[in-house]
Every structure is written in C-alpha cells, then in structure tokens.
C-alpha cells in the first residue's frame, strides 16, 4: 500500500514539474458568442431585467453592440451580431411560457456579468503592473 502511494506521488511530482502547460478554450455557438462585453453596471442591470422580464436584458444588450461593445464574433458585421442578440431575446420571450426561456434568460444575464468581470480584470491587469 505504501509503495503504491509513493509511486503515485513520484508520478505526480514528475508530471507537475515537467513544464507542460495545458490551455482549455470553450467553443461557443454563434448566439452565445454574440453576448457583448459590457461595463459591469450595465451587465448587472441586464441580469436584473432578465430575471424579472425574460428577454428584456438581452434585448437591451443588443443595443450595446451598436454602441461599440466587443463580442467574441470579431469577423461578423455589427448588424449581424445585433440581430443575433435580438434573436436570442426573441427566443427567451417566446419560450418563457414553458420556463425554458426564463431560465435561459437568467443564465444569459449571468454570462453578461461574467464577461463584464473578465473584461474589467483584463483592463486592470496592465495598470497593476506599473
């Protein structure tokens, strides 16, 4: 028993010091990649609206794309990304009757807040290095 533990520890130590870096990237579909990176207060407002009126926060976030908000779809035109967000809002509104749209709307709002936080951390990183 002790011999197996030491072998696993030896393997764990050797593999952790070998210098292998693994990077994982999430592959997003076009609707999810169209969620804009908004300022944190706007993202929180959209989450609040999506929680109580499914699709309303997503509808408002579509207009932030027209105001210059960045998305994970840089190769698509702004109008295309705007209409993708409008389609997501429409889907949330239509399927809210069977609770699917309401849950989707809340998760969409949570993604908006997560993206806003990650954008804020990315913007603050160079300032902390100075």
Inter-axis angle of helices 100-129 and 56-66, to 10 degrees?
A: 40
| Nearest alpha carbon to residue 115 among 42, 55, 52 | 42
Three-class DSSP category at 70? strand
- Asked if 62 and 113 count as a contact pair (C-beta separation under 8 A), the reply is no
Q: What does the pLDDT average to over 68-89? A: 92
> Who contacts 75 (Cβ-Cβ below 8 Å, separation ≥6)?
none
Residue 52 CA to residue 102 CA, distance in Å, equals 9
- Per-residue exposure over 24-50, b if at least 16 CB sit within 10 Å of its own CB, e if not: eeeeeeeebbbbbbbeeebbbbbbebb
| Nearest alpha carbon to residue 50 among 91, 102, 90, 95 | 102
Comparing 2-6, 20-24, 76-80, 114-118, the range with the smallest average pLDDT is: 2-6
User: How high is the pLDDT of residue 92?
Assistant: 94
Q: What is the pTM of this model?
A: 0.72
Q: Which two tokens stand for residue 98?
A: 């069977």
Q: What does the pLDDT average to over 106-120? A: 92
Q: With bands split at pLDDT 50, 70 and 90, how would you rate the model's confidence at 99?
A: very high
């Amino acid at each position: 028993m002790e011999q197996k533990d030491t072998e696993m520890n030896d393997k764990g130590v050797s593999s952790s010091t070998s210098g292998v870096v693994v990077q994982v990237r999430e592959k997003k579909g076009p609707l999810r990649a169209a969620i804009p990176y908004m300022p944190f207060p706007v993202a929180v407002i959209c989450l609040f609206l999506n929680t109580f009126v499914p699709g309303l926060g997503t509808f408002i976030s579509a207009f932030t794309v027209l105001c210059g908000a960045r998305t994970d779809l840089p190769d698509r035109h702004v109008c295309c990304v705007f209409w993708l967000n409008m389609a997501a809002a429409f889907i949330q509104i239509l399927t809210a009757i069977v609770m699917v749209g309401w849950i989707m709307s809340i998760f969409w709002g949570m993604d908006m807040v997560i993206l806003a936080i990650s954008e804020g951390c990315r913007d603050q990183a160079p300032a902390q290095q100075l």
